[in-house]
Amino acid sequence: MTETKTETKQTQSSASLDSYVTRKEQFALVRGKYRVYSGLPVPMLDMPNAKAFQAEDVTAPDHKIFALVCKPDLPIRKDHIKARNGLKVDGLLPLVDAGTAFWQPISRKTMILLYEMPLGGRVVQSKTYGKILPEEEAEKISKWVRPLLVGISNLAVRGLTHRAIRPDNLFYMDAEKTKVVWGDCIAAPPGYDQPSAFETIETSMCQAAGKGNGTTADDLYAFGATLICLGIGYNPVESLSDTELLELKIYKGSYAALIGEERVPLALIELFRGLLADNINQRWDISSTQLWADGRRLTPVQAKTVRTSQRPFLFNNVEFFTYRTLAYAFAKNWDMAADVIRSEKLLAWIEHGFDDKETADAIRKSIDMALVRFSTKEKQDDFFVARTCMLLDPSAPLRIRNCAFLPDALGTMLAINVNDDKKTKMLIGLIATGYLESWYEFHQDMVSEQNIKNMQITLQKPGKGMGIERLLYDLNEGLPCQSPLVVKDYVDEARDLLPALEEVAKKANPKTEPIDRHIAAFIAVRFGSKVLEQISWLNSPKENVAIQGMLNIFAALQRTFGPDHLYAMCSWIGGMVVPVIDSYHNLEKRQQLEKNLPKIIRKGNFSELCAFLDDRQERLYDLSYFEQAKKEYARLSEEIEFLDGNREKREQEGLMLGNQVAAVVSFGIAVLTMFLLLITRLLRG
């Protein structure tokens, strides 16, 4: 019996080992050296929008790493990859490398991030958190402030923000659990995965994609909220919905909303108040927090008194005493707000309750602007309600009906909604009709206001390489090309475009256009300085010029990045060059090109194909001979026209000449006849 059990265990162990070996055979290769095993997930290291898997550095098998596989349709933060790749930044989970690879479970390429393995695992294993450290609360928080602040500081000096600071994104780097670091913040847009408890009032008002990169002040706010959760062992506002928590913060302030009835040691009140100050000018910066960690006690932060009216403003059966609370209510009740703003009651409340004639006049101006700019009542209402919300709460995001985002998140908003025509058109409207300009106008940001004007110019140009596609790649450095031709190949660098198109060419419909609007815009942004003129050729009404532009663009890409041979692409595009050949005037030259074209195509080199089809010297000869032929043709045409144009005159002259000749001939005959008669008589006589 014992032997049977032993055999069973051995069989199970063998089966388990076989299963492990099988799963380890399924891997993606990143940058030619990192194996990421799709059959070996590591759930304890998952991020909300990136799953973790076991990984191996084949050049250094002892290097303990893991991989985060990003969602291909979610823009990543490439600026972090450029700044941190391969560097060990104190306070942050070390990013070993990053690259794209084909991921079998989703049957497409995606970005994969390689991180060093945190040997101590996650600090917080669940949302309930639990008590984390054995020390007294004040002591343990003090102990954690310095190492965690270092990570935020090291990002700040690089001009970066983390925007994913929360308790469940903390890891122990060592098995002894003495070194704590912040986890990933690259796999998703900034703030995208953040619960409202760790977001400021302003960013909590935004959609997930609309929070923007923000500033270090946003990270410090999240840091303060994280310390509260770590200190008391759980999230005190976990039971509240996002809307309930946001309203609580607006009415009570973040510190009071998050602390609630919790007992906090006196030594920590100063730290929490400093980091959770809703007024960004009062919130502690890195230096102030560092001083607190060093034992220096600062002047307690006194919340700035919010300006209130002595008499309430009644809206939707609720009394309001402050601008911010009313603006928030307007944003939630858009259509109702339009009628109220049109009335004089609001303006009277602003002028009398706050003695603020400037804001009242600005609202009147907004209504007048709407009447001039828009022809329909709905669009007029949208415009002046949006501007009124900006005037009442300038630090809030741009809001229009169900859309709310901070303008620096415009790129992310476009990327997230790239396949939603309705939302994309709405965002285009916000750029084109002055909403974004208004937001920057109220923030006195002239540089950004000018940038919006430049965007408007780009949108007004409908050709390839411009329009909304151009803005999409201009505003999203890490976004791969969204062309249907290559979207599954995750082409996020110009160097990757031709290899992807080569694969497409092997099975492409010969009539498929190799450069669509997305590819043209992607090239214009990622490689544009070298092919600006050629991109403009793509929009030429002359088919041969557009094709020559395409050929020259591909030739420039191939010369710069390779590969040396693109057989399938040259064959694909070789069937489209007839208009270029036909642009030669000499029939013999056209016939010669058509005869030799297959041989050139088989070389797979676009530079040679361009030189073959568009030899400058041959073009000059062809043009020169064509000009001569045109002149000769013109001369002959003039002669023919002269002859054709004087036919009647020539007929009259011919008739006159004929009459004259006939008269002369007749006279000659008569004279000759008389002479002959005279001779005959003389001979007879």
* Residue 302 and residue 277 in contact, taking contact as beta carbons nearer than 8 Å: no
Res 126: pLDDT: 62
Res 627: pLDDT: 58
DSSP sequence for 42-70: -GGG-BTTEEEEEEEETT-TTSEEEEEEE
Which residues is 170 bridged to in the sheet? 182
Res 9: pLDDT: 55
Distance CA 246, CA 199 (A): 9
Segments in 260-322 forming alpha helices (H): 266-275, 286-293
Under CATH, what is the fold of the domain 122-293? Transferase(Phosphotransferase); domain 1 (1.10.510)
**Tens-digit pLDDT profile for residues 540-551:** 999 999 999 999
- Residue 173: strand, helix, or coil: coil
Helical packing angle, 377-392 and 323-332, nearest 10°: 150
Structure tokens at 546: 């557009």
Structure tokens at 642: 């002269």
Distance CA 42, CA 118 (A): 12
Distance CA 70, CA 108 (A): 12
Distance CA 375, CA 391 (A): 23
* Residue 49 and residue 74 in contact, taking contact as beta carbons nearer than 8 Å: yes
What Å distances lie between residue 359 and 154, 354, 508, CA to CA?
41, 10, 60
Res 186: pLDDT: 97
Distance CA 70, CA 93 (A): 17
- Residue 85: strand, helix, or coil: coil
The one-letter amino acid at 298: L
What values do phi and psi take at 212, rounded to 5?
Answer: 75, 170
Mean pLDDT value of segment 212-227: 96
* Residue 481 and residue 518 in contact, taking contact as beta carbons nearer than 8 Å: yes
Segments in 374-420 forming alpha helices (H): 377-392, 410-416
* Residue 515 and residue 464 in contact, taking contact as beta carbons nearer than 8 Å: yes
**Tens-digit pLDDT profile for residues 543-579:** 999 999 999 999 999 999 999 999 999 999 998 999 9
Percent of the chain clearing pLDDT 90 (strictly above): 68
Q: Is the pLDDT of residue 71 over 60?
A: yes
**Tens-digit pLDDT profile for residues 601-624:** 999 999 999 999 887 766 666 565
* Residue 467 and residue 477 in contact, taking contact as beta carbons nearer than 8 Å: no
Structure tokens at 417: 């909604």
What Å distances lie between residue 340 and 343, 359, 384, 619, 680, CA to CA?
5, 16, 11, 70, 134
- E strand or H helix at 39: strand 34-41
Q: Which of 68, 66, 162, 81 is nearest to 119 (CA)?
A: 66
Burial class of residue 280 (count of CB atoms within 10 Å of its CB; 0-12, 13-18, 19+): middle
Res 629: pLDDT: 57
* Residue 248 and residue 261 in contact, taking contact as beta carbons nearer than 8 Å: no
CB atoms within 10 A of CB 214: 22
Q: Which of 142-146, 322-326, 394-398, 439-443 has the lowest mean pLDDT?
A: 142-146
Mean pLDDT value of segment 317-328: 95
Q: Is the pLDDT of residue 70 over 60?
A: yes
Distance CA 124, CA 170 (A): 7
Distance CA 204, CA 222 (A): 12
- Domain 23-117, CATH homologous superfamily name and number: Phosphorylase Kinase; domain 1 (3.30.200.20)
Distance CA 570, CA 551 (A): 9
Res 275: pLDDT: 95
Mean pLDDT value of segment 423-433: 93
Distance CA 641, CA 154 (A): 84
Which residues is 400 bridged to in the sheet? 403
Evaluate the omega torsion of the peptide bond into residue 563 and state whether it is cis, within 30 degrees of 0: yes
- Residue 606 CB partners (closer than 8 Å, separation 6+): 551, 554, 555, 558, 566, 569, 570
Mean pLDDT of the chain: 88
**SS in 3 state form for 335-350?**
HHHHHHHHCHHHHHHH
**Tens-digit pLDDT profile for residues 89-145:** 999 999 999 999 999 999 999 999 999 999 999 988 765 555 544 445 556 667 788
